[in-house]
A and B are shown apart, each in its own frame.
Chain A
Amino acid sequence: GAGVSQSPSNKVTEKGKDVELRCDPISGHTALYWYRQSLGQGLEFLIYFQGNSAPDKSGLPSDRFSAERTGGSVSTLTIQRTQQEDSAVYLCASSLGSSESIYNEQFFGPGTRLTVL
């Protein structure tokens, strides 16, 4: 079956422009996560969605960052007025999100490499 897909794979933009990054999770996965990974660094949690619950936005670094998940499936991460420090790989992951088991393997997409000039 299809894995997590993300688009675009690469995005180059100018400082000050808005960008939208898309994530298609695995069908049936109720939990969806966004992470940011700067060059050579670890994963920085940004936001996660669980079913129809309010998303956990605690990791968003500023109000320029927002995300939505439509119909419990596709998610879009939007960065407004991009800055050079936003340059990173943005990873999306999904999981079954079961509340019956602690086991919660996340399946990651290939990421979107964002470069802000």
Chain B
Amino acid sequence: AQKITQTQPGMFVQEKEAVTLDCTYDTSDPSYGLFWYKQPSSGEMIFLIYQGSYDQQNATEGRYSLNFQKARKSANLVISASQLGDSAMYFCAMREGYNNNDMRFGAGTRLTVKP
């Protein structure tokens, strides 16, 4: 069964506007962590933001924030004030449990920022 679902293969956003990239997950473990990575055309994977299942507040890192809705099992990434350099693939990932270091990734969303 798919653990991480990213339903948007591609997204477009106008420069300086905000954009939300969707991610839903499936787990029965009460302890889990959610991660977002960015992969520019150069290919490297860049860690962006992390949300723990017990965190009371939504994670924020600069222009990145995570809209964490636990009951809906969604962890959408919000990028504010989009920049041309934000054009990339974005992957959502999850780790389940303290004794399991396995990480599973979604299929990704390709974001294109238009000038």
Contact = CB atoms under 8 A, between A and B. Distances in A.
Contacts of A35: 105
Contacts of A93: 45
A112 to B, nearest CB: 11
Interface residues of A, number: 27
Interface string B32-49: 110100000001110100
Contacts, number: 62
20 contacts: A42-B107, A43-B105, A45-B104, A50-B101, A91-B45, A97-B101, A99-B99, A101-B98, A102-B53, A102-B95, A103-B52, A104-B33, A104-B35, A104-B101, A104-B103, A105-B50, A106-B45, A106-B47, A107-B47, A108-B45
Interface of A: 31, 33, 35, 41-43, 45, 48, 50, 56, 89, 91, 93, 95, 97, 99-108, 110-111
